[in-house]
Chain A
Amino acid sequence: MNESNIKKPNAVASFFRNLSGQTIWMVFAVLVITISLMEPKFISSSNILNVLRQVSIVGLISLGMTVVLIGGNFDLSTGAILTLAAVVSVNIGPENGPLTALAIIIPLLLGVFVGLLNGLLVGLLKANSIIVTVGTQFMVAGATLIYTGGQHVWVWSPTQFYEAISGGYLMGIPNPIFIFLILTVITQIILKRTSFGRYVYALGNNDDASRLMGIKTNLIRMSTYVFSGFTAAAAGILLASRVKNLDPTIGLGYEFQALTAVVLGGTKTSGGEGRIYNTLAGVLTLGIISNSMTLLNISYNLQLLIRGLILLTAVAIDAKRNQSVAR
């Protein structure tokens, strides 16, 4: 076999990879332009901030989801973790300083704990991560319902700090957007500038090879789930601070939105490839699609259907891309 024969498929592969790297931003740009032409209300600064604020919750989950996916796994328990974190946070009753601190720390610890459990099960057993995290999702969602007795939980007069988590502004920009963007940058640094990040990519590319190279694969895999649990819990606290009167099933389904955003952003479902900034584009694209569907008065149920179709399309593109790389 001569050199050109080997090079050719690589060129095709990298072409597709680069294309997919930019497509989501192109799709995003085209969408923004089209929608602004159709609906001038869309580009008002209040609507833009509104969209950004809305996506910050899905966005946070998507960060953890991206890391888990790059490592070659899935985490479908994040919606349940988000709900648990939100419910516990509100139920602690952040009405004075110490309680506010607890209402932030305890949910985050819970998220980390569930992440640890996911990581243990998936890491040690090498069981399919989708079905494992569906199991933990059931457990956590059920535990949340038991904890609340199926009733709403609420907090009457939270401290200013707790209110400010989602209600406050910094330089005219809502705090959730800052929280989301800061965590995005941190995740990007973790993935690109630390050895942990490189190990996650290696793990997703080839589990066995990584282990033979001396990478502690189980530990890395567990850490990706812990990170995902952490971001999901953080998203839960954001939601709790905004809504303050929570239904104990409020966050179920967020995991699918996050998964859609991440796959739209070109993260490979088979692992080893993905970029946080493209996830950001995926999150924003989904956000403006949701926003414009609401502006166009499309019913919530039809939106569910459209979201499902978007996920299917994203997954089909992902599979197509994998095949062209394989060829």
Chain B
Amino acid sequence: MKNIIQKSLQSGFVTFLKNQKVLAILIPLLILVSTQSNKFWSLYNLQGLWVIIAMDGIMLVGMVMVMLTAGLDLSIGAIMSLAGVICVYLMNELGLPMWAGILGGILVGALGGAMNGLFITAFKINPFIATLGTMITFEGLAMTITDGYPVVNKVLIFSEIGRGKLGIIPIPAIILAMIFTAGVIFLHYTETGRSIYAIGGNEEAAHASGIRVKRVKFITYTICGLTAGISGVILASRLSTGSPIVGSDSALNVITAAMLGGISMSGGVGTLEGAFLGVLTMGVLSNSFNMMNIQAYYQQVIKGILLLVVIVIDRVSANSRKKALERTRGKNQA
């Protein structure tokens, strides 16, 4: 018990430090972009920035839960595309009402996530490999439905979800705030949420202490698919198109953001609040690239490098955590 308390204190401390690390990137970045361009703080740009952050931020909620169990979901980009395609297809090709389209898209996302969960828990496939396989399958499904072309939305009011504003706040940002709050409450104040941390910390111990590991994991992947579905519907609404390839970079972006915000790939470490700072940083980064007119190709290379850098940091801090744990264990024995 003492160990667990110590460990949680320790991970809290590490998370705190890591949040500081992100801020060490975010604050200079904000200063830099403010001096480079006076448009950054304009209302118009901030609104655009928050719409972009909302897309990745919503998916981050699901991804963080999956990553906390030491899993990963590479298929969220494909789920996002598929959900957008299905949503627009249901409304425009089949002529269903708007609510049915939205619900259809979100449900497809949850179903895709549940499929991932099934492969990972029932078939015991490594999550990286399973979601790689489903990623290709979902991509193929989206391509098959649309025959490779984007489906255009003609239901005008649907576009309001992605483009509309409540006062000065874009609707996607409001949806993000609601989902994010729900995610934080779920992780901190429900039994399932807390067992997610327990599984990531030590799966066997969690199992031994009576946590239904498989069930919890299944839930995290389903939530992850659900958030990707919601994000996909919002994106389809914003672009007024269901594109089968629109989400191809999303998984990488969201994973990088989560790790930047202190989520460890080895599970159990980090908080959703911290990870949110990661998404914020990524959003500001790509926004400032656009402000400084940096080509998309360069952005792709920089994102690749950034991912590798956060992996390096993650591994180094995982090793130091391990050493610190061994040291405290040694002290306890002595």
Residues of A at the B interface (CB closer than 8 Å) are 74, 76, 121, 125-128, 130-132, 134-143, 145-146, 150, 256, 259, 269-270, 299-309, 311-312, 315-316, 318-320, 322-323
Residues of B at the A interface (CB closer than 8 Å) are 72, 74, 119, 123-126, 128-130, 132-141, 143-144, 146-148, 252, 255, 265, 295, 297-305, 307-308, 311-312, 314-316
Contact residues in B for A305 (Cβ distance below 8 Å): 137, 140-141, 143-144
Q: Is the CB of A125 within 8 A of B315?
A: yes
Contact residues in A for B129 (Cβ distance below 8 Å): 130, 269, 315
Q: Is the CB of A304 within 8 A of B143?
A: yes
Q: Is the CB of B297 within 8 A of A146?
A: yes
Q: What number of A-B contacts does a CB cutoff of 8 Å give?
A: 138
A76-B132, A125-B316, A138-B304 known; 16 new pairs, CB 8 Å cut-off, are A127-B311, A128-B265, A131-B311, A132-B308, A139-B304, A139-B308, A140-B304, A142-B303, A143-B301, A146-B301, A269-B129, A301-B140, A301-B146, A301-B148, A309-B137, A315-B133
Q: Which of A306, A311, A322 has the most CB of B within 10 A?
A: A311
Contact residues in B for A318 (Cβ distance below 8 Å): 125
Q: Is the CB of B300 within 8 A of A145?
A: yes
Q: Is the CB of A131 within 8 A of B301?
A: no
Contact residues in B for A322 (Cβ distance below 8 Å): 124
The contact of B139 among A127, A134, A308, A316, by CB within 8 Å, is A308
Q: Is the CB of A142 within 8 A of B297?
A: yes
Give CA–CA (A128, B310) in the complex, Å. Answer: 12
Q: Is the CB of A316 within 8 A of B308?
A: no
Task: List the 3 closest A-B pairs by CB distance, nearest first.
Answer: A305-B140, A308-B137, A138-B304
Contact residues in B for A74 (Cβ distance below 8 Å): 128
Chain A contact surface mostly: helix
The contact of A304 among B144, B265, B298, by CB within 8 Å, is B144
Q: Is the CB of A125 within 8 A of B144?
A: no
Give CA–CA (A305, B305) in the complex, Å. Answer: 31
Residue of B nearest to A317 (CB): B123
Contact residues in B for A135 (Cβ distance below 8 Å): 252, 304-305, 307-308, 311
Contact residues in A for B139 (Cβ distance below 8 Å): 304, 308
Task: Tell me the smallest distance from the CB of B132 to a CB of chain A, in Å.
Answer: 7
Residue of B nearest to A77 (CB): B304
Residue of A nearest to B259 (CB): A131
Q: Is the CB of B128 within 8 A of A128?
A: yes
Contact residues in A for B130 (Cβ distance below 8 Å): 312, 315
Task: Tell me the smallest distance from the CB of A323 to a CB of chain B, in Å.
Answer: 6
Give CA–CA (A40, B298) in the complex, Å. Answer: 50
Subset of 5 A-B contacts with CB under 8 Å = A127-B315, A130-B132, A301-B140, A311-B137, A319-B125
Residue of B nearest to A256 (CB): B136
Task: Tell me the smallest distance from the CB of B208 to a CB of chain A, in Å.
Answer: 19
Residue of B nearest to A270 (CB): B126
Contact residues in A for B305 (Cβ distance below 8 Å): 135, 139
Contact residues in A for B134 (Cβ distance below 8 Å): 308, 312
Q: Which of B72, B130, B137 has the most CB of A within 10 A?
A: B137
Give CA–CA (A320, B125) in the complex, Å. Answer: 8
Q: Which of B125, B130, B132, B134 has the most CB of A within 10 A?
A: B132
Contact residues in A for B312 (Cβ distance below 8 Å): 121, 125, 127
Q: Is the CB of B133 within 8 A of A150?
A: no
Task: Tell me the smallest distance from the CB of A258 to a CB of chain B, in Å.
Answer: 13
Give CA–CA (A150, B316) in the complex, Å. Answer: 36
The contact of B72 among A127, A131, A132, A323, by CB within 8 Å, is A131
Contact residues in B for A146 (Cβ distance below 8 Å): 295, 297-298, 301
